Amino acid sequence: MAISPIHQQIDRLSSLPDELLVIILSFLPVRAAARTSMLSRRFRHLFGAVLETSPSLELISRDFPHRRTSAARFITTAEQTLLRRSPSRPLPCLRLELSRYLKFSSAETDSSFLPSLFIQARSLGVRRLTIEGAAFSPCCLTLPLIFSITSLEFLSLPRVVICKRDDSLFPSAVALTNLKSLSMERYIGDPFRLNQLLSQLCSLEDFSFELGNVPAFELFNQTIRRLKIILSGTTKNNTVMLSLPSLELLHVQYDGMVGLPHIYGDVPSLQKAVLNLSFLRKKDCSAVAALLTFISHAKELILLLKENDDEMYPFPILMKQGKDLPNFPDLKHLNVTMCFHKYNFKAIVMLLRHALALESLKLVHKVSLSNSRTCARTENDWRSMLPRNARKVFYTNLHLGQHNKDFLKLVGKQCSSSVVEQHH
pLDDT in tens, 32-70: 777 777 777 777 777 777 777 778 888 887 776 655 566
Q: How many domains does the chain have?
A: 2
Closest CA to 94 of 149, 36, 35: 149
Structural domain contains residue 22: yes
Structural domain contains residue 247: no
Determine phi and psi for 278, rounding to 5 degrees: -115, 160
Residue of higher predicted confidence among 75 and 182: 182
> Among positive and negative, which fits the CA dihedral 414, 318, 233, 137?
positive
Buried/exposed code over 155-185 (b: 16+ C-beta within 10 A; e: otherwise)? bbbbbbebeeeeeebbbeebbbebbbbbbbb
Per-residue pLDDT, 128: 96
At 419, is the pLDDT very low, low, confident or very high (cuts 50, 70, 90)? Answer: very low
* Residue 214: C-alpha distances to residues 42, 73, 164, 230, 257 (Å): 57, 39, 13, 13, 13
Cα separation, 326 vs 293, in Å, equals 6
Give Cβ neighbours of residue 230 (< 8 Å, ≥ 6 apart): 208, 209, 210, 211, 253, 254, 255
Structural domain contains residue 298: yes
pLDDT tens, position by position, 192-218: 888 888 888 999 999 998 887 667 889
Provide the residue type at 408 as one letter.
L
Structural domain contains residue 309: yes
Contact 358, 334 (CB under 8 A): yes
Structural domain contains residue 254: no
Structural domain contains residue 266: no
Per-residue pLDDT, 30: 67
Contact 97, 62 (CB under 8 A): yes
pTM of the shown model? 0.82
Q: Which of 126-130, 164-168, 226-230, 274-278 has the lowest mean pLDDT?
A: 164-168
Which range in 1-15, 293-307, 384-398 is most confidently predicted, on average pLDDT?
293-307
pLDDT tens, position by position, 115-168: 888 899 999 999 999 998 766 666 656 788 888 899 999 999 887 666 555 555
Q: Domain range holding 395?
A: 271-424
Buried/exposed code over 126-154 (b: 16+ C-beta within 10 A; e: otherwise)? bbbbbbbbebbbbbeebbbbbbbbebbeb
Structural domain contains residue 253: no
Q: What is the dihedral angle through the alpha carbons of 333, 336, 342, 347, rounded to the nearest 10 degrees?
A: -50
Structural domain contains residue 317: yes
Neighbours of 117 (CB within 10 A): 21
% of the chain beyond a pLDDT of 90: 25
Q: Which of 261-270, 285-294, 318-327 has the lowest mean pLDDT?
A: 318-327
Cα separation, 306 vs 309, in Å, equals 9
Q: Is 128 helix (H, G, I), strand (E, B) or coil?
A: strand
Per-residue pLDDT, 418: 34
Cα separation, 238 vs 215, in Å, equals 5
Q: Is 180 helix (H, G, I), strand (E, B) or coil?
A: coil
Strands of 190-270 (E only): list them: 206-211, 216-220, 226-231, 239-243, 249-254, 262-266
Determine phi and psi for 26, rounding to 5 degrees: -65, -20
Q: What is the dihedral angle through the alpha carbons of 403, 386, 419, 274, rounded to the nearest 10 degrees?
A: 60
Question: What is the DSSP pairing of strand 360-365 with strand 392-395?
Answer: antiparallel
Cα separation, 355 vs 377, in Å, equals 33
